Structures are given as C-alpha cells and as structure tokens.
C-alpha cells in the first residue's frame, strides 16, 4: 500500500526541508510500528519500529520521524546530522544573499584639492568593497554653475579610480545645483573604458 497523499511530500526526497531539529529520532520514536521510507526514498511499508531502527543502524543512518501525525507515523532512514548541517548552511547562504544594500554618499566640490579627493575616494572604495552602493555628489555654488564640466571631469576621474571595486550604474545627472553619479559594487575588475563616466549634458533649469 502506498503512502497517504497527505504525507508523501514529507516522506519523499523533496519533502526533506520540512523536517526540523525537533523531529524525534532513533530510540525517541516509541510507537509500536511505523510506515518506513528507505534512504533512497523508496517505500518499505509498515514495519515494527525496532525493525526499522535496526535497518537504519545497519546502514549507518538514523531513523527519523517525518510525519508524526500519520497513522502509523511515517519514518525515514537518513543521515540526520548531515541533513541538519546542510539545512543550517542553506539558511546561512540565504541570509547572505538577503544582505541589505545601502547607498552611501560622498560629497565633493568641483575644485576639490587632491588630499580631500583621495580621502573621499578611498571611503567610496571601502563602501563598495563592503557591498554598498555609492552616490558621488558634486555640489556647485554661485558662478560654479557655469563650470559644470569640472563636475563631469571629477566624476570621470572617480569612475576610473574606482574601476577595480565598482562600476557606474548611470550617466552623471544634474538635480538643482548638484551633479551625482551612482556606483554599484563589483567583484570583478572593470576595464578602464567601462569604468570611465561618459560626458553628460547638465539638465536645463
């Protein structure tokens, strides 16, 4: 007789992720008989619990209760320790992938001196290496608005200097008296021409 449809997913290979570390295993399973699933996922039918436990031991595995509410409970022969380790690793990898990416801003003046530029460029590189995005902003004041090419040149220089750790995600854009450019983190070295910011016309107004 096959497994009831309600417990097939728990007993099959695809159902393993539903098992947790609180599942009863080995001698903690105290019912008289169980519906047994072999390590390869095949069904062994209803057997005495002591027989199922002996079969698991002989194969070097554990007997794990995967569907305790079934009648009789469904148990599977498996390496429970290895399974829990894999689940822990998957959860860890999943959390790493879900890292929140923040946008860090570095601000420049169009006539920034080399010392100040180098300090802020290194900060931007560190942010990118840590996995965050960087918004580079050039702020213009008064008559500097007539020299927006200074901002373009500065952002182009910055893109070249950051090419090893990040790449620009857009062209430089003007918003009021500020010009900005967004960089995203990159693990691969960028070619110089890919990292250089192309010239962009400032928005009217």
DSSP per residue, 133-164: EEEEEEE--GGGGGGHHHHHHHHHHHHHHTTT
Kind and range of the H or E element at 43? strand 43-48
From CA 117, how far away is CA 150, in angstroms rounded?
A: 13
Q: pLDDT by residue (tens digit) across 109-137? A: 999 999 999 999 999 999 999 889 999 99
CATH 3.10.20.80 for domain 5-89, yes or no, is yes
- What pLDDT score does 204 carry? 40
Percent of the chain exceeding pLDDT 90 equals 62
Rounded to two decimals, the pTM is 0.45
Q: pLDDT by residue (tens digit) across 61-92? A: 999 999 999 999 999 999 998 888 888 888 88
143, pLDDT greater than 50: yes
Stretch(es) of the chain classified as CATH 3.30.110.10: 103-195
13, pLDDT greater than 70: no
Q: How many residues are given for the chain?
A: 205
- What pLDDT score does 101 carry? 76
CATH 3.30.110.10 for domain 103-195, yes or no, is yes
From CA 160, how far away is CA 195, in angstroms rounded?
A: 5
200, pLDDT greater than 70: no
Q: pLDDT by residue (tens digit) across 38-58? A: 999 999 999 999 999 999 999
Stretch(es) of the chain classified as CATH 3.10.20.80: 5-89
Query: What mean pLDDT, rounded, does the chain reach?
Result: 83
Question: What residues form DSSP beta bridges with 67?
Answer: 74
Given pLDDT bands bounded at 50, 70 and 90, which one contains residue 105? very high
Nearest Cα to Cα of residue 65 among 2, 10, 5: 10
Residue 127's SS3 state is helix
- With beta carbons less than 8 A apart as the criterion, state whether 180 and 138 touch: yes
């Amino acid at each position: 007789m096959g497994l009831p449809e309600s417990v097939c997913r728990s007993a099959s290979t695809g159902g393993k992720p539903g098992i947790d570390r609180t599942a009863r295993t080995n001698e903690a399973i105290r019912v008289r008989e169980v519906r047994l699933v072999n390590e390869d996922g095949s069904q062994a039918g209803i057997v005495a619990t002591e027989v199922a436990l002996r079969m698991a031991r002989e194969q070097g595995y554990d007997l794990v209760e995967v569907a305790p509410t079934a009648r009789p409970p469904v148990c599977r022969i498996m390496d429970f320790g290895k399974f829990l380790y894999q689940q822990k690793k998957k959860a860890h990898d999943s959390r790493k992938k879900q890292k929140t990416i923040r946008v860090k801003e570095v601000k420049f003046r169009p006539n920034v001196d080399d010392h100040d530029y180098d300090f802020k460029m290194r900060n931007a590189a560190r942010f990118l290496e840590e996995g965050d995005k960087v918004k580079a902003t050039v702020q213009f004041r008064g008559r500097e608005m007539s020299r927006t090419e200074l901002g373009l040149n500065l952002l182009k220089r910055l893109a070249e200097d950051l090419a090893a750790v990040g790449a620009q995600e857009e062209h430089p854009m003007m918003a009021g008296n500020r010009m900005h450019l967004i960089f995203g983190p990159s693990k691969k070295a960028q070619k110089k021409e890919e990292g250089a910011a192309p010239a962009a016309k400032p928005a009217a107004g």
